[in-house]
Structure 1
């Protein structure tokens, strides 16, 4: 078995992982980056629209307080207020920092970073590079890492002296040392996907930056890596997950042809003026503006269209409501028989912008629809519908340090929970990666410096990790992992989808319990060299555990809020706003769920909101 020693190991090579690794390396720590896929292929590249940061480049009225307010509104006040505050305050600095790394953002006429409109944001706030912002972010952070490696080569004669990337490598277990009475991170065990060779990373600090859970659903914008690895690793190590019921179904994914169903259609289309129509040609979103948002959103098409040209008109188009509201509206139109034959609605940018502007602002979308659906978006509308996109819940972390309940374990990005409450605003994900990736790397590095001795991996734990990894290959007559994965996706899509009901959620838990027993006996044929069936067999354990947390929390929360919609409890309940649902794993392997109070927002932050607005979210006791 190959072994390596590092100070900080970052699991995940998306925006949060790369930013954490850069910070740990800048602190002088020997740092490893573990990428499940090829380096540079992280799912961050799919975040196309931009990174939200209140720089005020397009509208000088924007500031961190407005951004904080928008984030809390979008999350229906279930956000960890401290994370939302830190994010709003620090996002501009992280964007400007990217420029010093070499990022090339689109510019305004006077040379500032351009910012575009996006759903839920009061002002144009998203720094962007056409509709390929995530790709530019990943390229920029990668190049920064290469430059740090060049520094190491000059100083030590070794390109990988203090920061190294392990591509196409999967971590299956985190290992602990509890010899001093406190369970501490000691290392991570995994395998190289190409060869099947095992590898041990001995390290006192680990940062989880593994992204989301979308591959538990059939219709998803997520790529193949999103199997809930970090969530499950954290649970099995003794950390907790918070509010896993909140899954965001992005309102606009492709619906036709079936082979590409679920692929993301960026919110930039609506941010740049695109409108949603049903099969009657009606612009239907005006019928779905909730009372709580009535003051911020336009009531007529004329009023909505003025928002794009008049900086003093703050009545936003209803197509730019928070994503949960738009997804539910589209779902309602389709359910009422006003959808397309393929089960979606129409997204029209062709009648709104000249072809040249569409090609300039949305080059990736033009190419995507032309190549995959034979649709020219400069001439005809797109067909779109909701697709599983993002999990707001995740590993419970300290808002300032990103530390979990396990000493030495940190989490940042989509794998962590709390920042976005019950619903994430578009564009907040990329700036979230930067703000909290930086903090996770910073505090993980500081933690290692304070240790009196390095934790040690126990041989018995390492042997158990090896046995668990080899089990599917050694099991004769085990079930096919692809069949089990299909069944899991069917259960989650049909019973724990965009609209939820008590009976279906109860049924889902029964089906998941049955699948857990079958997954424990899953088999894989062939050897250890690049064997996708074996890889999926190992991923299934993670997907199943995290899916059980989602279903259990969805059944428990008897209200509708953000990404969680209960048909049998259709309204928000102020009492439930005070409750976080926290999942852990018992020694038996069962998921335990407890209620935990939501942190109380500081008075000066509460003062940013009108009392009439707060009364729609909070109880009378809270407002007293």
Structure 2
């Protein structure tokens, strides 16, 4: 492996979802020479998941609502959300929504529900039609001469000297190695939910940014908090589920047609109460009675080693409701050939979104000079549970903030002159562990995804997490990414498996470290929250090449 090309730029943006697009546009408009490296096509990742009806954001109704919004965010955050970062998001999101047309997105207001985990209905905006948006973005960006886009291009490693970024090594769409000489990198690579077998993400959301950031010297935070949302197993696999429909659900059965949820509920929780609570938010939480809906599915899946999920059947009355939000969901299902008033659907817990990620401050800085993070890649903003629309809000607010600080940073910092050959050689020195086994990257990814889905899902316990983490560590000893590449395996695939093991180790370690249940993190061996852990955020970082977790 050698560098086939060297590119110089002021700012490298890795990722082409909402955060990456916002950051790239703003840095370019400020006069910077910007390179976008997108693992998939432009407008990708969780921001543009194809099997959802749309994406949106929640805004304060007025100035008086700002403090109420903050109270709700911190309440659902349960001591984990960063108050300063939340306040920035709340105060600046309206301005960022107004700027969306700059990059090719036209939002529209809608209503009909309180956002997930919110207590009051406030202003909601949404956008959809990914193909139209993608065309708009391409047209808008094509008019900016100082933006270059490289699609289907993977980040392999950052080049760092004296705690400062000076370059990055990429693998482009033809498997050529590209060295980027740059003083500033904005990581907008998305979360790590694509590491799970069943995920409501595209394949490019696989935790590469977290692995690369760790190696560069950055910290990760709150990794144990991630959102699992019911997704369809059938009739259309990976279609996003509309939780409001649960208000009209009349039965939940297992794969054999037996009543499932009713038999799992404790005596003090009724079927109706559980589903009413569950209809109020898409993601799983252990903070209310809704938890039994998701736990029953995963308990059955683990015990039966089944991935078929539970079948939901609905009252015909659902078709007569005129709630705007529910109506959009039903119409979306009808467009996909599903009439909930007449047919059942099978759902299971899908990994959806990461609440944690790379630690950042209010400017998107990571603690490594010249390295910034934004969007779902970044952590610390969200808490144990995250409000609906907050994921998109942080993409826009902190995508812009990271760009602003990167623009300021490059005015006084130039990258160290590192030969491309040296940068590429450092990759081999990093990934070649000397192992001689013939384990393939496909084997690593298949087994990792399955283990994570079964044992690091909504139900977690010491035994399963420890066993899964032990397997990950064993694979890190025996899987040699350098040998895989030399043996002819695809460079991107070989490196994806390498990064997946590293990020999974950090995620599993954080899940093990938090010995309590709080929000989206449920430990069946520690089913209650521990007041002494309120406000305690788990940090993961590498010290002398060893991953450590602490609060």
What is the TM-score normalised by the length of structure 2? 0.85
Match of 2:473 in 1: 513
Match of 1:51 in 2: 56
Match of 1:165 in 2: 149
Match of 1:484 in 2: 444
Match of 1:591 in 2: 547
What is the distance in 2 between the residues matched to 1:512 and 1:278? 35
8 A Cα contact 2:374 2:402, kept in partner: yes
Structure 1 residues 168, 446: CA separation in 2 closer, same or farther (over 3 Å shift)? same
What is the DSSP-based 3-state SS (H/G/I as helix, E as strand, rest coil) of the residue aligned with 2:81? coil
What is the distance in 2 between the residues matched to 1:542 and 1:349? 46
What is the DSSP-based 3-state SS (H/G/I as helix, E as strand, rest coil) of the residue aligned with 2:369? coil
Q: Which moved more, 1:341-350 or 1:78-87?
A: 341-350
Match of 2:379 in 1: 417
Structure 1 residues 283, 185: CA separation in 2 closer, same or farther (over 3 Å shift)? same
What is the distance in 1 between the residues matched to 2:307 and 2:10? 55
Match of 2:37 in 1: 34
What is the distance in 2 between the residues matched to 1:102 and 1:38? 16
8 A Cα contact 1:248 1:390, kept in partner: yes
Mapping for residues 390-539 of structure 1, pairs under 5 Å? 390-398=353-361, 400-451=362-413, 453-459=414-420, 461-465=422-426, 467=428, 478-520=438-480, 524=484, 533-539=490-496
2:172 pairs, out of 185, 192, 196, with 192
Structure 1 residues 366, 515: CA separation in 2 closer, same or farther (over 3 Å shift)? farther
Match of 2:244 in 1: 270
What is the distance in 2 between the residues matched to 1:229 and 1:512? 16
Listed one character per residue, the Cα deviations across residues 166-218 of structure 1 (whole Å, up to 9, x for unaligned) are 1111110101233xxxx21111111113x211111111110000011123221
What is the distance in 1 between the residues matched to 2:250 and 2:423? 54
Match of 1:603 in 2: none
Shift of 1:470: 9.9
Match of 2:200 in 1: 221
What is the distance in 2 between the residues matched to 1:101 and 1:223? 21
Listed one character per residue, the Cα deviations across residues 264-312 of structure 1 (whole Å, up to 9, x for unaligned) are 4244x5189665742388997xx79x99xxxxxx9699xx7xxxxxxxx
Shift of 1:466: 5.7
Shift of 1:462: 1.2
Match of 2:519 in 1: 562
Listed one character per residue, the Cα deviations across residues 569-613 of structure 1 (whole Å, up to 9, x for unaligned) are 1111121122111111233x3211222xxxxxxxxxxxxxxxxxx
What is the distance in 2 between the residues matched to 1:34 and 1:476? 32
What is the distance in 1 between the residues matched to 2:247 and 2:13? 39
What is the distance in 1 between the residues matched to 2:175 and 2:17? 23
8 A Cα contact 1:79 1:418, kept in partner: yes
Mapping for residues 145-156 of structure 1, pairs under 5 Å? 146-147=139-140, 149-150=142-143, 152=144
Shift of 1:321: 4.3
Structure 1 residues 475, 550: CA separation in 2 closer, same or farther (over 3 Å shift)? closer
Match of 1:616 in 2: none
Listed one character per residue, the Cα deviations across residues 369-398 of structure 1 (whole Å, up to 9, x for unaligned) are x3xxxx433533432221111111110100
Shift of 1:551: 1.3
1:253 pairs, out of 216, 227, 231, with 231
Structure 1 residues 577, 92: CA separation in 2 closer, same or farther (over 3 Å shift)? same
Shift of 1:233: 0.8
Structure 1 residues 184, 142: CA separation in 2 closer, same or farther (over 3 Å shift)? farther
Match of 1:78 in 2: 80
Shift of 1:100: 6.1
Match of 1:64 in 2: 66
8 A Cα contact 1:173 1:188, kept in partner: yes
Mapping for residues 93-132 of structure 1, pairs under 5 Å? 93-99=95-101, 103-107=105-109, 116-125=113-122, 127-129=124-126
What is the DSSP-based 3-state SS (H/G/I as helix, E as strand, rest coil) of the residue aligned with 1:591? strand
Shift of 1:440: 1.1
Structure 1 residues 518, 341: CA separation in 2 closer, same or farther (over 3 Å shift)? closer
2:283 pairs, out of 323, 326, 335, with 323
Structure 1 residues 384, 350: CA separation in 2 closer, same or farther (over 3 Å shift)? farther
Q: What are structure 2's unaligned runs of at least 5 residues?
A: none
8 A Cα contact 2:79 2:535, kept in partner: no
Shift of 1:90: 1.4
What is the distance in 1 between the residues matched to 2:431 and 2:359? 30
What is the DSSP-based 3-state SS (H/G/I as helix, E as strand, rest coil) of the residue aligned with 2:399? helix
What is the distance in 2 between the residues matched to 1:199 and 1:333? 48
**How many equivalent pairs are there?**
532
Structure 1 residues 69, 282: CA separation in 2 closer, same or farther (over 3 Å shift)? farther
Listed one character per residue, the Cα deviations across residues 237-276 of structure 1 (whole Å, up to 9, x for unaligned) are 01111121122211x211235xx65x14244x51896657
Query: What RMSD, in angstroms, separates the aligned Cα atoms of the two structures?
Result: 3.7
What is the distance in 2 between the residues matched to 1:552 and 1:282? 32
8 A Cα contact 2:45 2:190, kept in partner: no
Structure 1 residues 127, 348: CA separation in 2 closer, same or farther (over 3 Å shift)? farther
Structure 1 residues 176, 337: CA separation in 2 closer, same or farther (over 3 Å shift)? closer
What is the distance in 2 between the residues matched to 1:551 and 1:477? 25
What is the DSSP-based 3-state SS (H/G/I as helix, E as strand, rest coil) of the residue aligned with 2:24? helix
What is the TM-score normalised by the length of structure 1? 0.76
What is the DSSP-based 3-state SS (H/G/I as helix, E as strand, rest coil) of the residue aligned with 2:538? strand
- 1:385 counterpart = 2:357: no
Structure 1 residues 103, 223: CA separation in 2 closer, same or farther (over 3 Å shift)? closer
What is the distance in 2 between the residues matched to 1:592 and 1:353? 52
- 1:5 counterpart = 2:5: no
1:143 pairs, out of 136, 139, 143, with 136
